[in-house]
Copies of this chain bind each other. A is one copy, B any other.
Amino acid sequence: VNEFDIIQRFFAGKITLQKDHVLIGPGDDCAVLAMSADQELCVSTDTFVEGVHFPFGAEASLIISRLMAANLSDLAAMGAEPYGFTLAITSPEFTEQWLVSFSDRLEMLVNTYDIPLIGGNLSRGPLSLTINIMGTVPLGRAILRSKAKVDDDIYVSGYLGEAAGGLALLDQPYQESYAPLLSRYSAPEPRLSLGTSLRNMATSAIDISDGFAADLGHLIKASGLGAQVDLEAIPLSSSLVTTFGLDIARLKAVQGGDDYELCFTAMPKHEAKIKELSLNLDLKLTKVGKICLDQELKISDKLGRAFSETEGYQHF
């Protein structure tokens, strides 16, 4: 099977979401897209490598679900709407079974998130995949990491640590109770609707990909400020606590990556609107702390005891 046949059968000929702004889709030297004068373009890229970002031998559907989520989540963190993406796949071989599973899931994701595949590349080599994603925001309305202000509340969406929990369970004998955590790892949900809704409310936002503490760390560094987080306020799912116990659950919630939830800041006056948004989106939004002047990230419990990332969970 050659590259052109694979592209025709599993990509260009199968992933066929049509959008008006895609003037020329895959197949020419470049795709050609209409631009809009009242919008700005948001662009991000992410690579997943076998054995680094997903386990050796992982299912094709898991790989593309996680890679798309990682990229879409970067759009969500800017408050952007999907515009288009390119996909570069390097693989030692392209088997029928892998391509069917991969492209079935890709088709589903493209339709779910309404984002057209505008081009790509297939190469022989060790398995890795790169997506370059584009989104749009109204002029001047992108939500940046750098605009948090002192006394802003810090919020997170959803429950943290579940993807890290799922990852830890991947090589365990399967139990039905693991299912929610496993699916949070293998098919995370990027928070696009939350992102666009936050354009009017959030002062800053970042997606949680490296881990809550690391990503909030990036946000406060970009804003030149600090943060005080209440350890007990960090939302933990009952699945995570039941499976791992409270201490390890907290550690995963603070340190674990891959949740693709959003962490954002907002002025205290928006608290009621954020509660309403949570109801409208049917998505938990939890106030976990405050932005402060002191350029440090402090996570502590009710008794004022600091949670030390470096000491890990022995600390508890």
Contacts and interface: CB of A to CB of B under 8 A. Distances in A.
Nearest to A80: B30
Number of copies of this chain that the complex holds: 2
Interface string A138-154: 00001011100000000
B43 A86 contact: yes
A119 B206 contact: no
A10 to B, nearest CB: 17
A31 B78 CA distance: 9
A303 interface: no
Interface string A25-68: 00111111111110111111111111111000000000000000
Contact of A43 (B84, B88, B205): B84
A146 B28 contact: yes
B132 A49 contact: no
A162 interface: no
Interface stretch (A12-20, A120-128, A291-299): A120-128
A188 interface: no
A121 B28 CA distance: 26
A34 B42 CA distance: 9
A33 B43 contact: yes
A28 B222 contact: yes
Contacts of A205: 29
A173 B304 CA distance: 70
A43 B145 CA distance: 26
A142 B46 CA distance: 28
A43 B124 contact: no
A116 to B, nearest CB: 11
A41 B33 CA distance: 5
A80 B86 CA distance: 18
A207 interface: yes
B88 A130 contact: yes
B40 A77 contact: no
A40 B47 contact: no
Contacts of A24: 142, 144
Interface string A194-237: 00000000000111000000000000001000000000000000
A42 B31 CA distance: 5
A49 B146 contact: no
B35 A40 contact: yes
A118 interface: yes
20 contacts: A27-B145, A29-B44, A29-B78, A29-B206, A30-B78, A30-B80, A32-B78, A32-B142, A34-B40, A35-B37, A35-B39, A43-B86, A43-B119, A45-B86, A46-B88, A47-B88, A48-B123, A49-B90, A49-B125, A130-B132
The 7 closest A-B pairs by CB, nearest first: A132-B132, A49-B125, A37-B37, A30-B42, A35-B35, A126-B126, A29-B77
